[in-house]
Amino acid sequence: MKTIFIVLSLFNCLYSQIIINEIMFNPNGNEYHTEFVEIYNKGNNPIDLTNFTIGDQDEQDNILPYNENFTNILPPMSYGIILDSSYEENSTYYEDLIPTGVCRFVIDDGSFGKYGFSNSVEETVILKDNNSNTIDEVTYTIDQNPGFSDERIMIDQNLWSNSLYERGTPGFRNSSTPLDRDLMIKPIDNLIYLDGEAGFTVSIENRGVSAIEQFTLTVKLGSEVLYSVDNSSPLAPNSVVDFEIDQLNLDYGYNKLSLILECEDDLNLSNNQINVETFRKFGKSSIVLNEFMKSPSENSCEWIEIYNLSNNSFNIKYLSVGDLTSQVVVKDSVELEPNDYFVFAKDSSIISFYGEIENIIISKQFPALSSDDNLIIKDPENVVLDSFYYKNIWNEEYDRSIEKINPKLQSQSSSSWAVSIEKGTPSKRNSVYTEIGNNSSKNSLKLKSKVITPNGDGKKDNFIIEYNFEKPFINLSIDIFNIKGQKIHTLCKESYQNSSGTYIWNCKRKNRKLKLGSYLAFIKVKSGDFEKDYKKPFYIGKK
């Protein structure tokens, strides 16, 4: 009897080396044929599974060889896959996954347990030896999506996790099982908005079971290395270290960066590189409104044109253009060169009407522009880069766009805009374009032209004052008098302006052009204790 007890104890010890390692209870497909249980022999001896059973608390099924090419022997340190009895004849669901040479088994019944594994109620899967002794049992959870198995994390621990891969990991290392050496860059899913020189944080996690000391983190823009740091401090398993990435000197607008982690003997390179989308806040007056069509003919559509006023090219992905009710977002990577245009339109009729337009987005999200509207350019953080509010002006102008006289002028002033001489100039220089000179003389103010011909030919169409003062700012007042000395119009009254710049007036009063004849502009400039008056005569003619 003593000898029998020793033998039985030995077998019980051997059988306890067989564990349940993975359970596929809810395959994504026909689950009548594709449920499986993976077992693992963690011992040093082969185990004969003859008369072993597997099932649930209501019914056990015998484990048999998969077919005549397999046996019931599970070698040491090996996986075994127990499949539905109908799998071989009805499915190839796992054929590209199960490695060659992995032991396969089937059950002698039509389903695991009494009715197959439940997808709605947690069940306990029980593995028994040839003496009906329970050698392992696992209660699976039902918190994963269809097609994802329950996996044991570590062979020597009863800790479980949802599989990271659809269809699971039949016959090979579980996806949740950590490697000896496995560093990972933690994903950054959201767009990173950079204001000024501010940077962002990158987290490195040691997902392996061994501490790691040496690794390098590199940040690239294309092939250019922007940042690189070497780490020599030990990073313990399941620990995270953060790196602050700043001073990258990125261009304004959208940039796509590559973050690359280099570590010797890293056993999982799939998580060592990520791409990060960033958007650096634009500088002042970099991207401006330049032209818009609010009252198109029936053969065209509404549109807005923006302009790159800077000396640098920008990627304008995630920029949005429209009004307060609706905006069109640039969803693709688009490089806008210096002094170049980009058009946002409601439909493709703009191309039929004006011809080919190189830089354009056509979107049904484009707003319906009205006689009282506020045009805006915004960045991804809803920061307004430029805007223009107009109300009840140019209402009589149909089938002609509204153009900025010069892109450098402030968009917020209606005097910076004029009706196009042509039908419109999308992606081209505006028809009313007027050069604005640089008044380099200090504390000076001059009228660009004493003769003004507001006939829409793009030449001397506007009353233009250029000024330059050695002050941080000025308050500007302009009154217009007729030849009889009567004040007929006030252009501005103590209007806050930069110390140097240009003031433009389209020679209209109450939306009507002034009559031909001589006029006098009385101009007052104030800044603190400084005050100076100017009288500038001018003449409005036909040509």
Q: Answer for the pair 66, 28: CB distance below 8 angstroms, yes or no.
A: no
Q: Which amino acid does the sequence have at 178?
A: P
> Strand, helix or coil at 170?
coil
Q: Do domains 18-162 and 444-540 have the same CATH topology?
A: yes
What's the pLDDT score for residue 413? 84
Alpha helices in 355-495, H assignment, sequence order: none
Token pair for residue 488?
Answer: 């007929």
CA distances from 93 to 89, 129, 155, 372 (A): 11, 29, 26, 62
Q: Which residues pair with 39 in a beta bridge?
A: 20, 80
Distance CA 119, CA 150 (A): 12
What's the pLDDT score for residue 67? 95
Instruction: Map out the domains of the chain as residue ranges.
Output: 18-162, 183-280, 288-419, 444-540
What's the pLDDT score for residue 1? 41
Phi, psi of 414 (to 5 degrees): -65, -20
Distance CA 467, CA 448 (A): 10
Distance CA 72, CA 91 (A): 22
Total number of residues shown for the chain: 543
Token pair for residue 373?
Answer: 């509207």
Neighbours of 515 (CB within 10 A): 10
* Number of alpha carbons in the 13 Å side-chain half-sphere of residue 211: 7
How would you classify the pairing of strands 530-540 and 451-452? parallel
Q: Which residues of 291-305 are buried (b: 16+ CB within 10 A; e: fewer)?
A: bbbbbbeeebbbbbb
Closest CA to 233 of 217, 209, 206, 214: 214
Tell me the pLDDT of the chain (543 aa) as tens digits: 434 444 444 445 566 799 999 999 999 877 789 999 999 999 999 999 999 999 999 999 999 999 999 999 999 999 999 999 999 999 999 999 999 999 999 999 989 999 999 999 999 999 999 999 999 999 999 999 999 999 999 898 899 999 999 999 999 999 999 999 999 999 998 999 998 777 899 999 999 999 999 999 999 999 999 999 999 999 999 999 999 998 788 889 999 999 999 999 899 999 999 999 999 998 878 999 999 999 998 899 999 999 999 999 999 999 999 999 999 999 999 999 999 999 999 999 999 999 999 899 999 999 999 889 999 999 999 999 999 999 888 877 788 899 998 998 889 988 788 888 888 999 999 988 887 766 667 788 999 889 999 887 778 888 988 888 888 888 999 999 998 899 999 998 988 887 888 888 888 888 788 899 999 999 999 988 889 999 999 999 987
In sequence order, the 6+-apart residues with CB closer than 8 A to the CB of 96 are none
Supply the DSSP string of 54-116, one letter for each residue.
EE-SS-EEEEEESSTT--SEE-TTEEEEEE-TTHHHH--TTTTTSPTT-EEEEESSSSSTTTS
Q: How far is CA 11 from the centre of its chain?
A: 59
CATH class for the region spanning 444-540: mainly beta
Neighbours of 437 (CB within 10 A): 10
Q: Which amino acid does the sequence have at 272?
A: N
Q: Does CATH place domain 183-280 in 3.30.720.210? A: no
CATH fold of 18-162? Immunoglobulin-like (2.60.40)
Q: Does CATH place domain 288-419 in 2.60.40.1260? A: yes
